[in-house]
Structure 1
Amino acid sequence: MAAVGIVIVSHSRQLAEGVRELAVQMVQGKVFLAVAAGIDDPKNPLGTDAIQVYEAIASIYNDQGVLVLMDLGSALMSAEMALEFLSQEQREKVHLCEAPLVEGAIAAAVAAASGCNIQQVMAQARGALVAKATQLGVNVSHILGESTEVSTSSFVVEGQITKQIRLTVRNPLGLHARPAAKFVATAARFQSQIKVQNITKGTEAVRADSINQVSILGVRQGHELLITATGSDADEALAALQTLVENNFGEEDATLAPLTTSPANHIVSSVDDFIQGIPASNGVAIAPVFLYHPTPILIQQYHVENREEEWQRLQVAVQAAHEEIQAIFSQASIQIGDAEAAIFDAHLLFLEDPVVLEAVQQRIFEQHLNAEAAWQAVVNELANDYRRIEDSYLQERVADIVDVGQRVLRLLSRFESHLRNSEDKLTHLNLSEPVILIATDISPSDAARLDPTKILGICTTSGSAISHSAIIARRLGIPAIFGLPPEIMQVANNTIVALDGEIGRVWIEPEPDIQTALETKRNLQELAHQQAITTAANPAVTRDKTREIKVYANIGGISDTEEGLSLGAEGVGLFRTEFLYLERTTPPTEEEQIAVYQRIAQLLDHRPLIIRTLDVGGDKPIPYLDLPQESNPFLGWRGIRFCLDHPDILKTQLRAILKASLGHQIKIMFPMIATVQEIQAAKAILAQVRAELRQAGVLFDEKMEVGIMVEIPSAVILAEQLAAEVDFFSIGTNDLSQYVMAADRTHPLVASLVDAMHPAVLRMIQQTVQAAHKAGLWVGLCGELAANPLAAPILLGLGLDEVSLNPQGIPAFKQAIAQLTMAESEAIAASAMQQNSATDVREVVSAFLNRQLNNH
């Protein structure tokens, strides 16, 4: 039976679509919702149109009736006029409702999805503010009028019983940022109202879909949670949360071991003349100082009359911030690894936190505050809440809140556009020589994008060894000392400073003996590091000397190339060119791309450089390319699909690659190929570009190899036909795994299925290798699977010719290959193919390696 339909009438199209999206998320398509909003006038798009309202009603009209919700002013008039176009019979089933637009739409949608009649749906919409008022301690009668009788249970939906479970948190750091983000994301996927409280600490129950309320519970290892769920899918919700908690939120038993977190004595020794801080990242650095003083964002508070417009302005800034953080997350996944990049999951959830957004909305609509002032007030309150918690780990989350808060403020005040070409922005510093950065603080998003070749060390007056910035600094290998006394900010620019991150000491203009001792320590550390990677400089040859596998690096830019070469990379197997398109407002020009490609090719000195053409979409949004908001972006308009629809962007990149190719071993690789027709279309554009360059007398490598990424199951099935079109295959196991297992790798409830060690994925790799070799093609693998030493014998045994991985994983992979014979690897691979799960595969490999270790 059809449900009651709902029409949302608003002056703002974007606002109405946003409300509709919220409601749709609550009811998962069970209710028809239509929008009638805005007018067709580019200069003044705000307004309402009676014909639009009529068409919206007609589009979802059914015998159960239609509820029409309106924002204000002419929206009511347009809705009333729209009724005149309906027949008398239809008019009797269409009801105009004065309920609040956002809360009313959500409440009405949930009621309609539950099978309520039009009167019940209307009652729920009208009572939508009761829950919020109760939570805020507001007298409901002040909202609905003294004589209004409020009913919070005007209908009973079958199955709306409260269920509860008790769970003990076992992972080492409890509900820190990444587990909290997974917990909130899981809870938010269910329609039931879910609450959680920390029984151990005796807290009140809070909303499970609020990242900040969950974080403030202060849940640590060993704490017991009480989780309640009220709704039709309560059992499923509790089961999902129980699985998440019992699986330790997908974390290993041990996390990144933080350095000492005890507060250091801020003293200056009269003997050694050093300043003591908190050790945050090991290593020695000696370099001139660069003092970083970010320009503060000054906001004004003022009264606004058009509250809808102000709220819309805030929503636009939040969406832009979401896109920026998503871009940082994608880049950080490559630069510092997926585990540490997951820090930015919490940043994204902060922007989506309904408690935060509702608090900002309240200030705008009830206090008539401008968006900047309302946002800043809520962020400040939340930061202060964290500061008051008697938990040093949670207190460190203030930096994340401030980081996200400042990002939205910059966008609201158009501050970001001013900084894009300014040296004031930390990640755009034009440094003539490497420096030690001294600042009051460094945000996680800035830390994630620091260049270790330019920033040799970090000193701050705030922070600790367990802050996210410290974790990122350690991952980047940048020595860091946090919590230094304020006097450090008085050091003049270009003063020589030395720091020892292991013991947390800083020397200003160190005496010769101190500098010599630190240089000796640094040299010994570098020597130990070089000895550890000595074998990485050698080819990856099996113990029986019968087989060699090429080991390349995955890179996102020039610094990655340098790091890869220092760690034994024999070439670049994947240049992710999308990072040339980030942090910009327009695509890179042909000349800019040529310069980067040539510089990397020169560094490689005739080693292979495989350049993947632009791969955007999915988890790699680039705002100025106007990628649409998609409900399932991993299955959407991404990779080669986007580029074939934008041949101008693809042709510019292909021209740059071809022009940079002469005298180098550059290869082109097209991503996300699903059909033979796609690679043929891409090759046709490449042929056109080649012809144009020949006609213009531009020389390029006429024998350049062309390959494809094999990351879609259809490409595996069509491997023999695709092999006739290209010179090589490169298997992308990150995407292939999620497509084979039909599981979104960003979805917390199913991400565990996305495991490249699963026999189903391994068989896809085997099938691809066999088809390639049958056609005389070489085949590589450039997914994260190659970075897993346990996978080394399987990949070797399956016959791969090349692997490409993040630079840090190269020494371990080469070392693993050197300990294997080809016969052992083939036996392990054959056994892995016969297992039933990824766990079984790992056990097979681990058992072999343990026997090997015991035998030696």
Structure 2
Amino acid sequence: MVGIVIVSHSRQLAEGVRELAAQMVQGKVPLAVAAGIDDPENPLGTDAMQVYEAIASIYNDQGVIVLMDLGSALMSAEMALEFLSEEQREKVHLCEAPLVEGAIAAAVAAASGRNIQQVMAQARGALVAKATQLGVNVSHILGETTDVDTLSFVIEEQVTKEIRLTVRNPLGLHARPAAKFVATAAGFQSQIKVQNITKGTEAVRADSINQVATLGVRQKHELVITATGSDADEALAALQGLVENNFGEEDATLPPLPTTPADHPIFSSSHHFLQGIPASNGVAIAPAFLYHPTLLNIQQYHVENIEQEWQRLQVALQIAHEEIQALLSQASIQIGDAEAAIFDAHLLFLEDPVILESVHQRIFEQHLNAEAAWQAVINELANNYRTIEDSYLRERVADVVDVGQRVLRVLSRFESHIIISDDSPTHLNLSEPGILITTDITPSDTARLDPTRVLGICTTSGSALSHSAIIARRLGIPAIFGLPPEILQVANHTIVALDGESGRVWTEPEPDIQTALETKRNAQQIAHQQAIATATSPAVTRDKTRQIKVYANIGGISDTEEALSLGAEGVGLFRTEFLYLDRTTPPSEEEQLAVYQRIAQLLHNRPLIIRTLDVGGDKPIPYLNFPQESNPFLGWRGIRFCLDNPDILKTQLRAILKPSLGHQIKIMFPMITTVQEIQAAKAILAEVQAELRQAGVPFDQKMEVGIMVEIPSAVVLAEELAAEVDFFSIGTNDLTQYVMAADRTHPQVATLVDAMHPAVLRMIQQTVQAAHKAGIWVGLCGELAADPLAAPILLGLGLDEVSLNAQGIPGFKQAIAQLTMVEAEAIAASALQQDSADKIRTLIRQMLT
């Protein structure tokens, strides 16, 4: 938690301010005083050593802000910083905010868990509420150039920096990337704004999850991002890296939307049914359980102690934050990181400065109680979402209501559950299997459902685009949303049948309907079981003459668990850069070791290929101080950065080596361009191995070392490089853009970046031939492996292994099982003779039919 030091000429004044601030936060925030001097005759003054001791007494990794009163107090504070270490000085900030108001505002912000930049912003804006209440023009106080809404000072001399970026991920700034964008922006002191040029929107605050969400950013939309402040360059570089790296979603896939066939011949039109919106495929036949979600009835009343009321809200927000964090952890395990990231946006909602400022205004100016002020802002925001033309964004109103109700329940001391009719269960996880019927269901409640109990969901609101629908699909629960109100008339325990594909619901279905639905459900279950059975079996050709290993690309522990459940035979690419993101310092050896060890344990004796840190100007990490580069894909990245920063590389190599004994851990170096680079990397590895031997630390002495083949020079030098390593892994994402001389982030040339182009396939062929000639194995870990049409070519070219996103593993294995080796070789040979990617795809379709 951020600490606060109060520096004053008067000891009595400083103690009074501390007492007032401590009372506001019930002693939760570290507060220290450095005030007065040890002279009974003249006690007024400041002492630099006193300030230093006060800072040291509450110093922590979250940082310390120092508030001062007059004259020499500033000089004493500046001198005190000289006594601190360089590392400590970076986390101690002198703040020009007013002493009394600033200390109170900072304490409240710190108590709610905000970072040091947000705490300072609150302190700096502490006079706004008072000035507004007195009818004073705030701009006269803060300066004409100040944007009062930001609650922070903008210095006139500071230059506004600007970048323009194109969003490339399929769903644009949906919940997960929007949350990452806002969290990144909020981590800097600069005032950051973003504008959707494609839609012609106004610029909005980049630290507001709701303002960013309502920009309606979709794939290929162009953004203008501006930053004004001391760390503007760093902020823009971080945001640029985030956007250009597709917010880490290059391999992410959302569960597919359910499809509605044109007709349903197995169902007679004479049978009565209710028609809704297909939200999640599947068939369910079970007793109905009717739920009545209860919105809290909030009473509005006048409060005198507005500071205490504001503190009540801060405590409620903190409790809500802890609840959502627990839900996020649970959801990550149950539905995966991609869908669980929906709740990252919920967390940021609680910290949205625009919302908090609006609630603050209602409490301090209108003297409203916290519940009424919060509810008024939530209702206003929800209505704004409802008026948005974009149907996907309109569905985010459910998230607004979800978070809003959670905070109100905390304020009103309500338990987090849905109130149900008298003879029904009082919680979402039913006592016996059934179909949930309700007006609406929130994402939070959907994520807590037990699929073995809740066999289906019927609601009178929502759509297939809602987060609740996305989660239901991931959980495998059939769901129909937007049904007529008639569904709510169904009595509890009535047998209900639903078909998630058609969006139809039958109450007390007639025997022929029930039989048809049971037949359909059985067929779906058999198909699912066959797919899983195929996925967990090796990828062997139809003629049983060839097997190709199928591994998974992962970014963390939960990805590993999902990959194993979908048939991964190992991990072919662990992208360790994810361990370095969303933090202010590099991960320690112990932190990395814990992750590598846990993944190795999950895999047992299966291979785990760990790629060393692969970052650079194309995906920069602020604390690693990457320079601004005009063409980062050709710049200081990958192994180039690590060789210039051997301490970072050695830390990672130690963490990889230590858990290697008894496991199949392998090291892979990225972006190798020359023989000298791999030799230098191996020399550093040898140093680390020698140090561990000397220290008596056991490790796998025969650990395999490989490289990513992703640069044309590596393909040309493949024979020489093969003599240095134990394996190759072809990274088709980068290799394709380098072969085609087309930046994959540039919208005007992105169509050239197609790994199915014959120029790329010939590079793959050349690499495989060089590897096999040298007696080493070769894999492929780019996105090409996830394309089912590529399966026969990769098999035919002789690859020993492929590594892809876990969701694509069953499909790849099924494709291999349908081929003979003769067919695959013929398809590959013919593909290499074509002159375009389109012709190759057409050829494959023709040869497979």
Q: TM-score range by the shorter chain?
A: 0.5 to 0.7
Q: Distance in 2 between the 1:808 and 1:194 partners?
A: 38
**5+ unaligned residues in a row in structure 1: which ranges?**
1-5, 12-35, 62-67, 107-123, 262-268, 575-611, 622-628, 645-649, 658-664, 685-704, 742-749, 833-842
| Contact 1:288/1:435 (8 A) holds in 2 | yes
TM-score, normalised via structure 2 length? 0.56
Q: Distance in 1 between the 2:437 and 2:683 partners?
A: 51
Aligned pair in 2 of structure 1 residues 366, 156: CA closer, same or farther (>3 Å)? Answer: closer
Task: Tell me which residue corresponds to 1:350.
Answer: 349
Aligned counterpart in structure 2 of residue 211 of structure 1, from 209, 212, 217: 209
Task: Tell me which residue corresponds to 2:813.
Answer: 813
| Contact 1:195/1:205 (8 A) holds in 2 | yes
| Contact 1:540/1:548 (8 A) holds in 2 | yes
Q: Distance in 1 between the 2:533 and 2:95 partners?
A: 77
Deviation at 1:482, TM superposition (A): 0.7
Task: Tell me which residue corresponds to 1:50.
Answer: 34
| Contact 1:171/1:221 (8 A) holds in 2 | yes
Aligned pair in 2 of structure 1 residues 491, 197: CA closer, same or farther (>3 Å)? Answer: same
- 1:473 maps to a residue whose letter is A
- Matched residues, percent identical? 49
Q: Bigger shift: 544-553 or 712-721?
A: 712-721
- 2:378 maps to a residue whose letter is V
Deviation at 1:323, TM superposition (A): 2.9
Aligned pair in 2 of structure 1 residues 224, 727: CA closer, same or farther (>3 Å)? Answer: closer
Aligned counterpart in structure 2 of residue 724 of structure 1, from 700, 715, 721: 700
Aligned counterpart in structure 1 of residue 329 of structure 2, from 320, 327, 330: 327
Aligned residues: 659
Q: Distance in 1 between the 2:65 and 2:245 partners?
A: 44
- 1:49 maps to a residue whose letter is V
Task: Tell me which residue corresponds to 1:442.
Answer: 441
| Contact 1:326/1:348 (8 A) holds in 2 | no
Q: Distance in 2 between the 1:387 and 1:202 partners?
A: 20
Aligned pair in 2 of structure 1 residues 846, 717: CA closer, same or farther (>3 Å)? Answer: farther
Q: Distance in 1 between the 2:468 and 2:224 partners?
A: 32
| Contact 1:541/1:548 (8 A) holds in 2 | yes
- 2:815 maps to a residue whose letter is Q
Aligned pair in 2 of structure 1 residues 219, 791: CA closer, same or farther (>3 Å)? Answer: closer
Task: Tell me which residue corresponds to 1:101.
Answer: 102
TM-score, normalised via structure 1 length? 0.56
Q: Distance in 2 between the 1:416 and 1:248 partners?
A: 39
Q: Distance in 2 between the 1:552 and 1:252 partners?
A: 14
After TM superposition, the structure 1 = structure 2 runs for residues 293-442 of structure 1, keeping only pairs within 5 Å, are: 293=292, 303=303, 304=305, 305-306=307-308, 309-310=311-312, 312-314=314-316, 316-317=318-319, 319-321=321-323, 323-324=325-326, 326-327=328-329, 330-331=332-333, 335=335, 338=338, 340-363=339-362, 374-409=373-408, 424-426=426-428, 429=429, 431-432=431-432, 434-442=433-441
Aligned pair in 2 of structure 1 residues 81, 395: CA closer, same or farther (>3 Å)? Answer: closer
Aligned pair in 2 of structure 1 residues 55, 336: CA closer, same or farther (>3 Å)? Answer: same
| Contact 1:53/1:82 (8 A) holds in 2 | no
Task: Tell me which residue corresponds to 2:135.
Answer: 142
| Contact 1:181/1:211 (8 A) holds in 2 | yes
Q: Distance in 2 between the 1:49 and 1:819 partners?
A: 76
Q: Distance in 1 between the 2:231 and 2:132 partners?
A: 31
| Contact 1:359/1:378 (8 A) holds in 2 | yes
Deviation at 1:212, TM superposition (A): 1.2
Aligned pair in 2 of structure 1 residues 392, 480: CA closer, same or farther (>3 Å)? Answer: same
- 1:724 maps to a residue whose letter is D
Task: Tell me which residue corresponds to 2:626.
Answer: none
Deviation at 1:450, TM superposition (A): 4.1
Deviation at 1:481, TM superposition (A): 0.8
Task: Tell me which residue corresponds to 1:286.
Answer: 285
Task: Tell me which residue corresponds to 2:647.
Answer: none
Aligned pair in 2 of structure 1 residues 384, 800: CA closer, same or farther (>3 Å)? Answer: same
Deviation at 1:465, TM superposition (A): 2.1
After TM superposition, the structure 1 = structure 2 runs for residues 460-471 of structure 1, keeping only pairs within 5 Å, are: 460-471=459-470
After TM superposition, the structure 1 = structure 2 runs for residues 639-654 of structure 1, keeping only pairs within 5 Å, are: 640-641=593-594
Task: Tell me which residue corresponds to 1:631.
Answer: 584
What secondary structure does 1:389 align onto?
A: coil
Deviation at 1:9, TM superposition (A): 3.2
Deviation at 1:396, TM superposition (A): 1.2
| Contact 1:731/1:780 (8 A) holds in 2 | no
Deviation at 1:852, TM superposition (A): 4.8
Aligned pair in 2 of structure 1 residues 148, 725: CA closer, same or farther (>3 Å)? Answer: closer
Q: Distance in 1 between the 2:561 and 2:384 partners?
A: 43
Deviation at 1:186, TM superposition (A): 6.4
Q: Distance in 2 between the 1:149 and 1:563 partners?
A: 55
- 2:812 maps to a residue whose letter is A
Aligned pair in 2 of structure 1 residues 343, 783: CA closer, same or farther (>3 Å)? Answer: farther
What secondary structure does 2:815 align onto?
A: helix
Q: Bigger shift: 505-514 or 295-304?
A: 295-304
After TM superposition, the structure 1 = structure 2 runs for residues 211-610 of structure 1, keeping only pairs within 5 Å, are: 211-218=209-216, 272-293=271-292, 303=303, 304=305, 305-306=307-308, 309-310=311-312, 312-314=314-316, 316-317=318-319, 319-321=321-323, 323-324=325-326, 326-327=328-329, 330-331=332-333, 335=335, 338=338, 340-363=339-362, 374-409=373-408, 424-426=426-428, 429=429, 431-432=431-432, 434-448=433-447, 450-526=449-525, 539-542=538-541, 545-549=544-548, 569=567
Q: Distance in 2 between the 1:311 and 1:54 partners?
A: 37
After TM superposition, the structure 1 = structure 2 runs for residues 735-814 of structure 1, keeping only pairs within 5 Å, are: 806=806, 809-814=809-814
Q: Distance in 1 between the 2:496 and 2:215 partners?
A: 41
Deviation at 1:277, TM superposition (A): 2.0
Deviation at 1:486, TM superposition (A): 3.5
Deviation at 1:436, TM superposition (A): 2.0
| Contact 2:328/2:340 (8 A) holds in 1 | no
Deviation at 1:397, TM superposition (A): 0.7
Q: Distance in 2 between the 1:718 and 1:199 partners?
A: 48
Deviation at 1:499, TM superposition (A): 0.9
